[in-house]
Structure 1
């Protein structure tokens, strides 16, 4: 059974530190509160609870707001929706927050599909869809998009696509509406970029007074091929259905004029048909499936080079993808903060150290084949800019590491992976008073097994983890910290290779989302059985405070049993 074919068929935020230290995590909006069911069905029927996630919804400021509809479309094929956007009336052109909301519905039969939304060429949302019940489902996604305020101040072209196939078998038409809600402010928060740029023919021209530059890349392995499951690919010598010459290691790199400028570990996203088992995801998707977060690179050390007024080549590549093979999408936005008191900011790249890329896979044959992979890479770049407030030096040090053990039997009737990916980044800014260092340690984990047993009963047991620890220090003294721990667990079984009404599927899935730190905490758990929610949808503890998720009457005391801030995410 070549299971990779049926795993999933896809059609085609605030910066990390500020997100965890005080801004809203993007999250799917919760459906109306639903009482927990005391008696789940014995197996899946023709309908189940609407999709939801445990992360907090985006909070909104008090006071007036303005809403603009950005897109409203039904996706039946690969024809993009094209429209126009006009800034809101009555809310000014400076906002304390801008919230994007996608409302979707679909019924019948359909695969998971990948989608994007571009406003003025800027990618403001990358998402995937849940798989529907025959009776139909509805879901929502909310995202804080305040960082794109520069784009929203002028009229723009809009393009949205959720590539889909509708025929006699796959009947689900994806119906979506996307809005932006604006909350006015007297002045823009300094954390918001002054400009949001996109590449033109692969090149970038920054304003000549740029003093901070951050690139974000919405990197996704997708398209229904093996790169959708890059973490399971094997070298050519191993008898496995998904091949990649150097094995499963992937690294997303960005370069400036051919010089390596940033490295990052991609998140091992599992879409809602992944691991051969859609019953795992019908209600609770895996982390980030509905709101794909971009990989971010601080390119400020290169600002002196980029500020010369000329276009510079920006390339994004994914290490490990066999030459000539497609399967990755890597759209780029560039966020720029300008020096309002200088017409020209000059500077220089002062250090550029690229460590050797380690990537080793060892294949061990047997009745159970095994592939053990270990890899890692390090990059350090430093530079300065001479601004109206003095010389500012920025050093970015990033270290990647991964280990995985992949086991499978002949025919892949048993297929298992245990993997860990770490992406540790330290950014030090020295020039405006005491030096500030922000350290972000990201850890992604996956531990799963799919088994095809007697009577074609297919069972998948899977645990996914998305963790991050952020610490900000000023002059060596800790000033803020946070810890994110988003854990998904699922166990689902059904009869494969039979019509839908004969699958006799059962599944237990859960998500536990915890965010805590110097700004407060949030802790929420969801549990489903046979598609029925068996825990209440209410948040269980306090929400993060002042600049983040404070609500009247909500305590910002630490969550009970919260891990130490000094422990790794």
Structure 2
């Protein structure tokens, strides 16, 4: 959070406004786009009013089978504070216990004044959903989120305790009560291929797998949050730089998982921007940033360690975030472990045959001046390989993951101009070699953030921002492509409002858009949304 952000938040609380969690900083006191008032349809107001379009995204909907279904309400609560909702879950009656798909749906509503909030849903201790919330209009908004949770079928086949929390504060200033209902819909039909077991860490620290595990995947819902500096980890600078968020090694972050003290996996955390981010809630009132409502876990294929984990003993599993200053809180890293078992063997043996970590870099350079500069880069490489002796022969899994990130951060004294241009890359190759020809899957992930916030004349705050979430994946066997996909989710926004005034005097304007393109061997989705002053002006779909 920049100094500029802190000033805005304080003024917001005193004056009854609610910009929420913020971040860096644009360039002139302008309306939208070029700085001139844009031409607009007659139904688009000259500035934001007291209501706007309900939140929505361009992401594809969950495809649902045309089969009989059963629905269960998992949680229904109004969140006013940090008291979790607790209830019980019972599997549905009349739809069997092996489903073709299971779809989670959250329906929410809130009105008044409120920050963005982070939430989770646990069933039997398994985190099946993590989300953040939109910020409301005075008149109120409603939104919904759907997620395919079929992979958690093992958990959902039994009765369990439920815990859900969207931590919130309701008082005379922040009046928004977050009202949500979560349902699960179970579809009959040909059962989906799912993990045989879904495990959590005992006491948050140890894992004991079934002794016949032949594939093991850990997922970590890693988020930096809480309103402090780790919510804006990509903006942190060395201690000697005059900026409001410091970290000893600068902005590079890396999420690591270790087994019994040995590094087992590395990953780049996604640079989430919540709906109060970048000092400007008008960027997010209708279209949230990528992944904001459906937070995806980081995945680690731990199959090379299956032989070690299958010895019947508990093993210590630890997740850490590289680059976080000692003693600083702000990261949440809950772990689920998905296990596929060999039903024809009681014990699947194996061994780690290769583990090479290298190429770790984390450098930050501060250059003082009228425009302060921090240039940083970081990266890491890890290769692990191991085999398991299954009922269908020896299977060797080799995983190579390479991370790289660059940051160019520029700001002026007082942080009245604050900008960042950052790129993260997370490349992964997984080769499975067993009976028949080897299968290789290569995934190239790229995340981008480019924006500036400026506090100009008349206390006009302008933010211009582009976010990118991209991934290419291809699976080959015998040199032939058997599956592929290409994702390009791009958000752009430009919004201006007056700070340090009551809410009805902000005179806010803004244009936001999102284009979500997903092409591949499984089909195609291409949707583009545009809003002006909170009015949806464009909604195009087609492939």
Separation of aligned partners in 2, 1:429 and 1:395: 7
SS at match of 2:232: helix
Match of 1:540 in 2: 541
Of 314, 332, 337, the residue aligned with 2:335 is 332
Of 214, 224, 232, the residue aligned with 2:235 is 232
Q: Could you tell me how far 1:357 is from its partner in structure 2? A: 1.3
Match of 1:3 in 2: 4
* Partners of 2:58 and 2:516 within 8 A in 1: yes
4+ residue segments displaced more than 4 Å: none
Of 237, 244, 253, the residue aligned with 2:247 is 244
Report 1:123-522 matches (<5 A). 123-186=127-190, 188-190=191-193, 192-201=194-203, 202-522=205-525
Separation of aligned partners in 2, 1:48 and 1:113: 20
* Partners of 1:208 and 1:343 within 8 A in 2: yes
Of 65, 68, 75, the residue aligned with 2:69 is 65
Q: Could you tell me how far 1:38 is from its partner in structure 2? A: 4.8
Q: Over the residues paired in the alignment, what is the CA RMSD in angstroms?
A: 1.2
Separation of aligned partners in 2, 1:316 and 1:228: 18
Q: Deviations over 1:493-532 (max 9, x none)?
A: 0001111111000000000000002222111100000000
Separation of aligned partners in 1, 2:362 and 2:517: 33
* Partners of 1:4 and 1:226 within 8 A in 2: no
Report 1:33-52 matches (<5 A). 38-52=42-56
TM-score by length of structure 2 reads 0.93
Match of 1:120 in 2: 124
* Partners of 2:361 and 2:380 within 8 A in 1: yes
SS at match of 1:438: strand
Ranges in structure 1 where 5+ consecutive residues have no aligned partner: 11-35, 542-558, 560-569
* Partners of 1:440 and 1:469 within 8 A in 2: yes
Higher RCO, Cα 8 Å, sep 6+? 2
Q: Which moved more, 1:165-174 or 1:513-522?
A: 513-522
* Partners of 2:67 and 2:189 within 8 A in 1: no
Q: Deviations over 1:183-217 (max 9, x none)?
A: 0234x333x10000000120000000000000000
Q: Could you tell me how far 1:136 is from its partner in structure 2? A: 0.2
Q: Could you tell me how far 1:63 is from its partner in structure 2? A: 1.7
SS at match of 2:244: coil
Question: Matched residue pairs, number?
Answer: 513
Separation of aligned partners in 2, 1:360 and 1:375: 6
Match of 2:111 in 1: 107
Q: Could you tell me how far 1:39 is from its partner in structure 2? A: 2.6
Q: Could you tell me how far 1:477 is from its partner in structure 2? A: 1.5
Q: Which moved more, 1:366-375 or 1:37-46?
A: 37-46
SS at match of 1:124: strand
Ranges in structure 2 where 5+ consecutive residues have no aligned partner: 10-18, 23-39
SS at match of 1:533: strand
Q: Which moved more, 1:470-479 or 1:442-451?
A: 470-479
Match of 1:94 in 2: 98
SS at match of 2:414: helix
* Partners of 1:4 and 1:242 within 8 A in 2: no
Over 3 Å counting, the alpha-carbon distance change for 1:520 and 1:185 in structure 2 is closer
* Partners of 1:347 and 1:386 within 8 A in 2: yes
Q: Could you tell me how far 1:4 is from its partner in structure 2? A: 3.8
Match of 2:532 in 1: 529
